[in-house]
Each structure stands twice: as structure tokens, then as C-alpha cells.
Amino acid sequence: MSRIPVALVSLLFLFGTACAPRAIRGGPGTDNPAMDEAAMSVLLDRADIEYLVGENLGPLYQSRFWAQDVEGTPGQPLVAIWPIQNATTQHIDDQMLTVLSSIETNLVNSGAVRVVDRARQEALAREIGIQQSDLYDPASARRLGRQLGAQYFVTGKVTSVEEKIDRARRVQYTLFLQVVEIETGLIKFQHESARSKALKR
């Protein structure tokens, strides 16, 4: 049995590692700070979600509702977040969870409201027999809201419109956001923001 020369083994190893995929780290504080800026698909990514959420919450914080019913009342109103509906035709469950987390984090950090922990909210919903789907149900929301002691539910949906021309594809996403007063069912605030993604070949 012949032995493979050491030089050949080294060459094969170098060739193999040169062709293998290599993981790189990106973002602030790395050698690739702009890595997350490029879009890799027409699906929602973190930059899109941050933009859509920010474009909705900015107007919320500047609204008459926020000035009068949130900052203009003693104490901090208790707010719960109903799951955001995925009204697109895409499977974007992970992105929807990121939208929820981003809204929750933003509201908590505003310092103007108290936010119900979603794990506690889901546990209570199961306990009292409420199916908390991503489609907002006023009757269920009122029942759950009273149990939580919350005054408002933040809810909404993500929609998309898709177009294809020749080899190009564009998807336009819209995030609708609502703040609903639990006791009355009145919409106290509503806004929408849009973001487009395109794929050109």
C-alpha cells in the first residue's frame, strides 16, 4: 500500500478549506459593519421590521391619544399586545415574532406605559379558555383584558402585495397598527407604514 506524500495531503487540505463556505461576522464593531444593510431576499428582514415598527410607533408617540390618554393621565396605563396577524401569503412566523418583540421592547422603553409580559398573557389566555389567534377578536380581548387589568390592546397585521414582470419581482409590505381601548372596543390610534422589496435578475 503506497503512502500519500505529506506535501500532497497539505495541498488537498488547503484546496478543501479554500472551497468550503466561510462564516463571517457582521454589524457594528466588526470588520463588516455594513453586512446587514444589503437585502438577501424579498422576505422581511430585521432592517425592514425596524423600519416598519418605527414608522408606526413614531406617530403613536406624537398622537393626541398618547398625549391625552397616556402621558396626560396619572400613573402608567397597562397595555397588552395581541398577536400581529400575518395577512400575507408567506410563511414568515419568525418575522412576525420579531415584529411583536420589537413593538414590546419599544413600548417598554418608552417609559410611559406598563406592558403585560406575553408569556403571562398566553398562560392566562389558556387558563380562561381563550384561543389567542393572530386575528383580533374583540369579545375575547375584552375578557382577557379584564383578567389582565389592561386598558389597551396593541394589535395589527402585516399585508403584502406582490408583482412580477418578466424576471423582476416586487413585494410591497404594509404594517397596520391599532391601539384598541379594551372596555369600549374603540380604536384610539391607527397607523400604517410600508416597505418595498424587489428582486431583479
| Structural domain boundaries in the chain | 43-199
Please, what is the Cα angle at 175 between 114 and 33, to 5 degrees? 85
pLDDT value of position 64: 96
Q: What is the pTM for the complete model shown? A: 0.81
To which residue does cell 500500500 refer?
A: 1
86-92 LR contacts (CB < 8 Å, sep 24+): 86/134, 86/157, 86/158, 87/157, 87/158, 87/159, 87/160, 88/158, 88/159, 88/160, 88/173, 89/160, 89/162, 90/43, 90/160, 92/43, 92/44, 92/158
Report, as ranges of residue numbers, the positions in the chain whose pLDDT lies below 70. Answer: 1-20, 36-37
Q: In whole angstroms, what is the distance from residue 87 CA to residue 85 CA?
A: 6
Q: In whole angstroms, what is the distance from residue 113 CA to residue 111 CA?
A: 6
pLDDT value of position 41: 82
Q: What 3-state DSSP class applies to 40?
A: coil
Q: Which amino acid is at 39?
A: A
In CATH terms, the fold of domain 43-199 is: Rossmann fold (3.40.50)
